[in-house]
Chain A
Amino acid sequence: MGPELDDAAVPVDRAPPGVATAAWSSLYAELHGLAHALMRRERDDHTLQATALVNEAWLRVGDEASWTSRGEFLAAAARAMRCILVDHARTRGRIKRNEGRATEPLDDLAIADAYGEAVDLLALDAALDRLARRNELAARIVELRFFAGMAHDEIAAVCHTPLRTVERTFRLARATLFRYLREPST
């Protein structure tokens, strides 16, 4: 398991609205431990989707707190994953390269940028905050999809929004973030 967390380390203020502190703390601690255990193993050819981590957390703490639904749980997990990954990226600084494997030259930098690259995970986090000030639903959708791997229909249920609205708003969010990241002056 990962490093022990004291209460102060759990960012209680970042819990999504409506989630009890105890539930949030327990979930955060669980995900934190899982994510750190994974990252310490550093199995470079074996990545794990955030969705799998979140599912594992669900199995462990899902029946402890009083989550009204799995969707509510996933929304909180998405937020927690985002906090954990961004903190991790911040402290890690540069991405560590594997020994013994050269990098393939890239064809399209723009898309590759968004994946886990230290600088851009932080940039994405900032861009998400910026998007949230403009359009809260859009930012929420991206968070749920990107950090918890939720599908559009699950997101629609959690956000109490029609599916089609979710789909279109996601495209808006994606296009906006894309521009924020490539042209930070926009």
Chain B
Amino acid sequence: MSGGDDVDGLFLELVELSPDEREAALAARRAEQPALVAEVEALLDADAVAEGFLEPVDVGLADAPVRTWLEGRTVGQYRIERVIGLGGMSTVYLAWQRAPRRQVALKLLRAGFDADALRRRFVQEAEILGQLRHPGIAEVYEAATYDSELGPLPYFAMELIPGARSITAWAEQDRIDRDERVRMMVAVCRAVQHAHDHGVVHRDLKPSNILVGDDGRAKLIDFGVARLLDASGRGATVGTRVGELVGTLQYMSPEQLDGDNRRVDARTDVYALGLVLYELVAGRLPYAVPEATAALVAARVRAFDPPAPTALRGPRARALDAVVLTALAKDPAARHATAAALADELERALRGEGVQSIRSQRARNLRRLASRSQRLLPAALATGGLVAAAAAWRLRVRDDSDHGSASAPSPSAGEYLHHIARAERAVASGDLAQAKQALGACAPAQRRWEWHRMLAQLDGSAQVMALGSAVRRIALDRTHTRLFAITEDGRVHGWRRRSGDEVGFDAQWRVDTGDDLGALAIDTAGARVFAGGDQRVVHAVGFDGDGERTMAQGASTIFGLAYADARAELVVTRQDGSLERWDPERGTRSFAVDTGLRLGAPVVQGETVLAVASPGAVRLALDDGHVLRSWSDPQGPEVALSVGDALYTAGWQRHVLAHERDGDARRWPEQGDGIVDLVAIDDVRIAAAGRDGRVTIWDRGDASIVRTLVGHDFAVEALAGPIDARWLVSGSADGTLRLWDLEAPDIDRVWPVDDKIHALAFTPDGRGLVVGAGPHWGRDENDAVMVFDTLRGDIVARSDDHRATVDAVAISPDGRTIATAARDGEIALRDADGLAARVRIAAHVDGVTAVVFSPHGDRLASVAPDGVVATWRVDDGSAISRTDAGIGPLTDARWDDAHVVAVGKRGMVRCDAACTATSAPDASEVTALARLDDDTWVIGTQTGSIAAIDRDGRTRWQASAFGRTVTDVAVAPGGDRIAVASLDAKIRLHDSATGELVLTVGAHDTRATTVAFSPDGRTIASGGFDRRVRLWHAPTASADDAR
């Protein structure tokens, strides 16, 4: 470039001007300095195009294009412009054909992939495509070989699809509505059928092989792994050996995953079309497949029944669901026989006609579920085995990769830790289903704190009831002692509440109605349950599952049921718009009217019925069915809830609409994928069932979420409760009911304090947490001792009377005395109640690093940077002994009977009147000490390792703690786990028998300084320089686990 500075300077002057102003400035110079002006203009052009260039870099990017050596070259009669796509063994370029002059897509085998087999496959693809002529398949113009310096490379020129996007990208980016997506897929199915008619199975159908161009048409590409069928319809092996897998794991059918190529045929393509349909309709794939090994993917695909796609997004469309799920049948024989059949069914579903797929779908489900549910229900009902059962229901086949057998979980510790590690990774990457499966694989006897912790992260429910089929509706009777549900497989389920303080349900029964049920109601006085649906009849069952009979036969599908207690009548609403009242005793109809409205989810309130009716909700008089009031909600809600003066409607458009008294409607913030049920918890709170699997609790005053309940794997369909104003029941498409305690504490809690935390300790009853804080450098404010109430989360006592940072705290075994020590060397002995200092001791010269009570609580030991171990009487603070340990500055100490064991910069000592050094070769620069058992100590070191040392100074084991200084260690009450706080801010959990890392529990924002287990073993508390006390809960863990 010429005259760098001038160019740059001129650019800087012009860059922020308007085009006219720029032109004016340049015009003058153009004649005199044409080269300069040209340079500046080139830079200005680049500036215009480079918007978005040099955004801050992402570390760890996955895909990226690779510019190749072919750009700008001529291959045959094509001039290559640039790379437009990268495939497994080929690269696709944009190229210009000489004659006829047009742009084409040139697909070349990638240099380096010149193995004969692959080359042959490439050539076959060209031949295959050359035979197919269909508007839905990209046309091949020519196939030839290019002589490059790397040898002959086959290529073929094919139709370029301008503006090509994968069919899923097209649908999302252009916000295509569901019907149009399905119509596009009908065209794709017809194209696939054309290929089948010519004996070609694609075998690798997925969104990136179905491109939609600017003209809005979809075209199939990449028949690279296509297979030719011979005349008899069975496939000849062409270029693929049995067992060799091709195609993308995520989109592979069960038979492909089995590696058996002989079973791959046209119906394999039907399955793939089903997956793409599923993704287009539901917005996601039915199976999450994080593992790369085919065996694991195969296990999951084989075992998993995906939920109906329209249940996950958009309005329900049962016919479409049936078609898609039929295409996804595990057994090829159960799928549509041809792509054309699939296309026909889709068209019928679009037109609103009946489809053949429904019956086969339900029948398949009913047959399969009979065997599955029976095996699992008893396990599901036992407390403690809940998630395992739920996880097992989701994935019947266990992960085979560990030991190649699908037997019961093996009790080996190594395998347990492997499952834990897998679960940890899955939780981190958000794959909850995988995490649950990993936890389910752990033998009950093995489960420790980390297992319970992750369980709580995945599932906050108090009880899980596995039903084996997607739940449609649930209901509680008015006494809250009976719970009922209807499921997709046509069953009615009932439970009874357990007696006792803890809320829970058992004694389940179920009745198979053989119907497609959608409505549920309860008559508490008469102890009867009513269910109805497609068969147009009401099934009545007693509270104990007995006395089943039918009644209320009508002309049209039952949409909703509700019971009017005051009148002892059953209210029935139907698809044809009729509203009926029936006397369940006599089985006669007392009233019927055609309201002209399709009323859903009816609720009886006094003498009125509240129901959703497109487009909104209505309240009708129970007497004669006339409309008293109506509300509008354009989203066509699924539920309407009346609380006080307000009415709330919600549906698949993700927000709740709050209808105020004065007629205004307020939109709540959007949540998840849509809301299908609402329940009032109290005057203030409403619970919402989310399609994303979460139950959200809202404050209806300010429309904010106060709590989220996590645990279901799929859309939550129904809610019931609250019981005792505190418990909620939810039912989900994942086939489970879950019970929630709304007052259960969060599993993570964070309490901010004024300054950096240096020490903390639990009181013996576990209820209090004593915290010592203060600045790390100088400054004389904010040194404090605080006592938190762990239940309420607030500070119940505080003392600021130390004159320097509080570095150490300890509590006597009887819980009545608290010792605190500060950086000026002073120790204070305080009453646990109120923290009043009884005695103050000027103990050490330049600080105190640890204080510890003796086992009887009558003596206190202190150690300090001055290298001294001192002991004191607790009652009056008088000195008992004072010994120079002889190993330099001391960092921590513990009692061992009548002796004090202390650690510091140069190792470990054991003291009474005098100190004897414990010669542990690895115990140098020790920063923390804890007692593991009668004979063993755990230490943490400056270099970031932890070790177990026995009383003779021998190292039992040593483990790395990841390279940063260990600041504190704590042993779990059960003795099986060690919590480690580190300079790298993390809190980690290690196995006490081997030192192995088990779980990274969590992290502070900066250096963590102190960690402790609660006496019941359920909580780990930690503190750090980020001025936070953090509590990590595992609510179901117990100190008894290890014993």
Contacts and interface: CB of A to CB of B under 8 A. Distances in A.
Interface stretch (A9-17, A18-26, A65-73, A175-183): A175-183
The 6 A-B pairs of least Cβ separation, nearest first, read A149-B56, A44-B62, A102-B208, A116-B61, A175-B46, A117-B64
B404 interface: no
Contact of A174 (B53, B165, B984, B1005): B53
Given A59-B1005, A60-B985, A109 B65 contact: yes
A45 B62 contact: yes
Interface in B37-60: 42-44, 46-47, 49-50, 52-60
A174 B985 CA distance: 38
A51 B164 contact: no
Given A107-B163, A168-B12, A178-B50, 4 more contacts: A49-B57, A50-B57, A103-B87, A135-B8
Contact of A85 (B42, B59, B249, B292): B59
B525 interface: no
A95 B209 contact: no
B207 to A, nearest CB: 9
A102 B8 contact: no
Given A59-B1006, A99-B249, A94 B59 contact: no
A82 B12 CA distance: 26
Interface string B56-86: 1111111111110000000000000011111
Given A1-B962, A175-B11, A94 B66 contact: yes
A103 B64 CA distance: 8
B245 to A, nearest CB: 11
Interface in A71-104: 81, 85, 94-95, 97-104
B16 interface: yes
B92 interface: yes
B471 to A, nearest CB: 30
A112 B82 CA distance: 13
Contacts of B15: 168, 171-172
Interface in A115-163: 115-120, 134-135, 138, 142, 145-149
Given A97-B86, A103-B86, A105-B85, A174 B47 contact: yes
A98 to B, nearest CB: 5
29 contacts: A38-B59, A39-B59, A42-B60, A47-B59, A47-B61, A49-B56, A49-B57, A95-B61, A95-B63, A99-B249, A101-B62, A104-B85, A105-B211, A106-B83, A109-B83, A111-B52, A115-B57, A115-B61, A118-B64, A134-B8, A138-B8, A145-B56, A146-B54, A147-B57, A168-B15, A171-B15, A175-B44, A175-B47, A176-B46
A106 B94 CA distance: 10
A45 B428 CA distance: 12
A146 B57 CA distance: 6
Nearest to A114: B53
B166 interface: yes
B912 to A, nearest CB: 39
B52 A53 contact: no
Nearest to A61: B1006
B86 A111 contact: no
Contacts of B206: 102
A145 B54 contact: yes
B250 interface: yes
A150 B468 CA distance: 53
Contacts of A146: 54-57
B65 A85 contact: no
Contact of B65 (A45, A103, A135, A179): A103
Interface of A: 1, 4, 33, 35, 38-39, 41-51, 53, 59-60, 63, 81, 85, 94-95, 97-107, 109-120, 134-135, 138, 142, 145-149, 168-169, 171-172, 174-179, 186
B119 to A, nearest CB: 20
A137 to B, nearest CB: 10
Interface of B: 1, 4, 8, 11-12, 15-16, 42-44, 46-47, 49-50, 52-67, 82-87, 92, 163-166, 169, 206, 208-209, 211, 248-250, 289, 292, 428-429, 962-964, 984-985, 1005-1007
Contacts of A63: 1006
Nearest to A179: B46
Contacts of B211: 105
A119 B67 contact: yes
Nearest to B776: A63
Nearest to B428: A43
Given A116-B61, A119-B67, A178 B962 contact: no
A114 B54 contact: yes
A62 to B, nearest CB: 8
B962 A120 contact: no
Contacts of B83: 106, 109
A1 B944 CA distance: 12
A50 B8 contact: no
A179 B57 CA distance: 19
B249 A105 contact: no
A186 B42 CA distance: 11
A113 B64 CA distance: 8
A179 B42 contact: yes
B64 A39 contact: no
A32 to B, nearest CB: 12
Nearest to B164: A105
Nearest to B82: A109
Contacts of B60: 38-39, 41-43, 46-48
Contacts of A178: 46-47, 49-50, 53
A94 to B, nearest CB: 7
Given A48-B58, A135-B8, A186-B1, A175 B50 contact: yes
B63 A101 contact: yes
Contacts of B1005: 59
Contacts of B428: 43
B16 A51 contact: no
A160 to B, nearest CB: 18
Contacts of A85: 57, 59
A149 B56 CA distance: 5
B248 A100 contact: yes
Contact of A103 (B85, B163, B429, B964): B85
Nearest to A112: B65
A35 B60 CA distance: 8
Contacts of B43: 172, 175-176, 179
A124 B166 CA distance: 30
A38 B59 CA distance: 8
B531 to A, nearest CB: 42
A148 B54 CA distance: 11
A94 B82 CA distance: 18
B40 to A, nearest CB: 10
A53 B4 contact: no
Contact of B84 (A106, A116, A118): A106
Most chain A beta-carbon neighbours within 10 Å: one of B1, B4, B46, B55: B46
A120 B67 contact: yes
Nearest to A41: B60
Contact of B169 (A51, A104, A109, A135): A104
B602 to A, nearest CB: 44
Nearest to B984: A60
Most chain B CB within 10 A, of A38, A148, A168, is at A168
B62 A112 contact: no
Contacts of A35: 59
A167 B208 CA distance: 39
A129 B468 CA distance: 64
A98 B63 contact: yes
Nearest to B52: A111
B67 A142 contact: no
A23 B85 CA distance: 45
A145 B83 CA distance: 29
A53 B58 contact: no
A158 B411 CA distance: 59
Contact of A98 (B16, B57, B62, B82): B62
Contact of A49 (B42, B58, B209, B1006): B58
A116 B211 CA distance: 26
